[in-house]
Copies of this chain bind each other. A is one copy, B any other.
């Protein structure tokens, strides 16, 4: 495709996206397709001859769009948001257009230097400690996801714990910790028995630091080597917050690496009134991850990992073949981010985060977070005021967990009724919620954070939920 053809088709695609964003609200949030429906509508074999680009756009409209669940839809309230924005999309487009590889500093210095700057900017915006800055002994790096970030944090922690005796190392999480930590431990070759699930407070669902200390003491007594504790700020299920400072004290007593998973909630510390969520991080955290691609208007993938000391990470991951040797790396004056991650190759992801921070400014980003927190509070108020619903008390971010109480049903039947209600709501296409389980109860999750969500979308969602419960209680199925 020539530069001029690119100009022509590029404008078509930009217009397509602008139209998509402008009309998004009219589409069903969750795709209604059945398994196989999208694939069956496309040619089974690849084309022998090239086709006009217009054919791609036509099939996008005809076949793919019905198969898309619209994560940017203002009534998308499922999972956590994966919100995007114009400046993020355009920053990413610039990255694609440049097509540069930032695996080491020398292969495109601007990729590395803009990344180190922008993660320092973000650390400053979130009030994270100075030692996380790239101009210190620590530093930040953009990963694809918090799963990968937590894996490399674990590898650094294992190295810190002595490297070789990984088979005796233990890792501490809670039942509320994201499943990626268990996955990371499995990938790193740790057995299931080496991952300890610390108990949580039954009300707050926060990790119990006393039980952590007891478990760790017993493990050390038994000859194990505690390597890492993962504390979560904003769990995936309910946005529970582990007591980082108290966990950190336990870690410090045993010289254990403290990793903080703030994948969803961490970015909210851009608001001074939410900075308390990071209590203990400055004093105790060895690594910290948050995802601008969840709630900070930066399109997937963009997860930022900071380390208080980059050395064990680089020791764990660096291998230097001849064809990557170069004067800049040998000088020690530069960062080679390939040693901070699983893959070798690197996309220039910093461009999109830079573009987002510049377009919105700190002020604009705070406004976005505050709007969602306020809407979540408003939704929780509506649900709490209705005696047919039960709302979880703590919802400091954009997520509200709640359930219809179904007074006449057993726990099991109530859960079935809640899930059936959820399915009817989602099948309507008007909104999209997800669910979780706390104790014995299935709860609905209303996660507010799509870029276009306004007050009316939240109120419409509440009306739809209430109406469905009305129908279900009047005409039980």
**Is the pair A38, B86 in contact by a Cβ cutoff of 8 Å?**
no
Q: Which of B19, B63, B109, B147 contacts A342 (CB 8 A)?
A: B147
**Is the pair A46, B121 in contact by a Cβ cutoff of 8 Å?**
yes
Alpha-carbon separation in the docked complex, A144 to B303 (Å): 15
Contact of A200 with B by CB under 8 A: no
Contact of A36 with B by CB under 8 A: yes
Contact of A3 with B by CB under 8 A: yes
Alpha-carbon separation in the docked complex, A99 to B98 (Å): 21
Alpha-carbon separation in the docked complex, A475 to B125 (Å): 56
Query: Which of A47-55, A306-314, A405-413, A464-472 faces chain B?
Result: A47-55
Contact of A94 with B by CB under 8 A: yes
Q: Which of B15, B56, B320, B321 contacts A7 (CB 8 A)?
A: B15
The closest CB in chain B to the CB of A181 belongs to B319
Chain B residues within 8 Å of A445, by CB: 323
Contact of A79 with B by CB under 8 A: yes
Residues of A within 8 A of B (CB): 1-7, 9-11, 13-22, 31, 33, 35-39, 42, 44-51, 53, 55-56, 60, 63-72, 78-79, 82-94, 96-101, 105-111, 113-114, 116-117, 121-122, 124-125, 144-145, 147-148, 151, 155, 164, 166-167, 178-180, 182-183, 186-191, 236-237, 293, 299-301, 316-317, 319-323, 327-328, 331, 333-334, 342-345, 347, 354-355, 357-364, 423, 434-437, 445
Cβ-closest 9 pairs across A and B = A189-B189, A1-B86, A67-B110, A10-B14, A17-B97, A145-B343, A84-B99, A46-B121, A7-B18
